[in-house]
């Protein structure tokens, strides 16, 4: 497939179409409060860090969001345990205060479900790396959501992240794409995203009863969701894997 990759800074009129592209996220993943607060701001306030790909017919088939932030600012220096949530907060705090960024973090790479399985995620990751380099950055980091971890919700993320195939590449397909692009596994972000909601909301999102106290396996969740019926809520704390790409 021939792709034309552009940024929203170059083509701002495409914003609505880019954000309206179909995706395959489990519904509950899109209910993270930090993500809901900041994700939509990226295209409006940092359009040079939103890339999208069009096929030969002009159909949008993928997009990639990233944010610049000051990793080496005072009181930081290491990639945070709260991963995706924390880096979004850092990026927009830095933007508001005029702090000079030194690193780019990947936030998402999304491929239209009709075009998955054709290597588009790897091509968008490469485009994100090239874009960061073109803007003067020397490193891209990524709080990666391992794409097959949901098949093993009870496997500790530390064990899963370090599992490799006989050829030495990661067992997980999405981690493998990052390694092939030049990244290395840095650390685990054990609380990268948190979704806390009422039992009624969880029932609506998943179709499950959520009437038993304890850990509930939810399709698409990387770890079980903790259900507390007597308190009327359930909490999902998603771990991610920090990858570092030197440019």
Q: Which of 65, 28, 62 is nearest to 210 (CA)?
A: 28
Closest CA to 144 of 202, 205, 79, 91: 79
Burial class (CB in 10 A: 0-12, 13-18, 19+), 131: buried
Hey, what are 95's tokens?
A: 């933007």
Q: What is the pLDDT of residue 145?
A: 98
The per-residue pLDDT for 1 is 82
pLDDT tens series, the chain, 247 aa: 899 999 999 999 999 999 999 999 999 999 999 999 999 999 999 999 999 999 999 999 999 999 999 999 999 999 999 999 999 999 999 999 999 999 999 999 999 999 999 999 999 999 999 999 999 999 999 999 999 999 999 999 999 999 999 999 999 999 999 999 999 999 999 999 999 999 999 999 999 999 999 999 999 999 999 999 999 999 999 999 999 999 9
CA angle centred on 65, ends 61 and 69, rounded to 5°: 165
Which two three-digit tokens encode residue 181? 């692009």
Sign of the CA dihedral 85, 133, 175, 52? Answer: positive
| Rounded Cα distance, 195 and 35, in Å | 10
Q: How is residue 16 written in tokens? A: 């609505």
- With a threshold of 0.85, does the pTM exceed it? yes
Q: Are 96 and 45 in contact (CB under 8 A)?
A: no
Q: How far is CA 246 from CA 37, 59, 161, in A?
A: 29, 32, 19
Element (H, E) at 63: strand 60-69
* 190-207 exposure pattern, b = at least 16 Cβ within 10 A, e = fewer: bbbbebebebebbeebbe
């Amino acid at each position: 497939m021939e792709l034309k990759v552009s940024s929203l800074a170059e083509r701002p009129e495409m914003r609505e179409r880019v954000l309206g592209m179909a995706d395959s996220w489990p519904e509950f993943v899109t209910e993270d409060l930090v993500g809901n607060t900041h994700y939509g701001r990226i295209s409006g306030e940092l359009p040079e860090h939103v890339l999208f790909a069009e096929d030969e017919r002009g159909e949008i088939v993928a997009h990639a969001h990233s944010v610049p932030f000051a990793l080496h600012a005072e009181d930081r220096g290491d990639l945070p345990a709260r991963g995706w949530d924390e880096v979004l907060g850092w990026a927009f705090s830095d933007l508001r205060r005029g702090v000079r960024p030194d690193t780019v973090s990947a936030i998402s790479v999304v491929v239209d479900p009709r075009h998955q399985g054709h290597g588009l995620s790897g091509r968008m990751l490469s485009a994100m790396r090239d874009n960061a380099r073109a803007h003067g950055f020397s490193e891209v980091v990524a709080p990666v959501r391992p794409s097959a971890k949901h098949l093993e919700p009870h496997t500790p993320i530390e064990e899963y992240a370090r599992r490799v195939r006989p050829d030495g590449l990661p067992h997980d397909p999405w981690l493998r794409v990052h390694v092939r692009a030049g990244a290395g596994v840095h650390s685990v972000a054990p609380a990268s995203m948190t979704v806390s909601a009422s039992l009624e909301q969880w029932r609506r999102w998943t179709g499950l009863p959520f009437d038993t106290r304890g850990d509930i396996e939810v399709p698409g969740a990387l770890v079980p969701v903790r259900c507390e019926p007597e308190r009327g809520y359930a909490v999902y704390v998603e771990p991610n894997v920090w990858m570092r790409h030197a440019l």
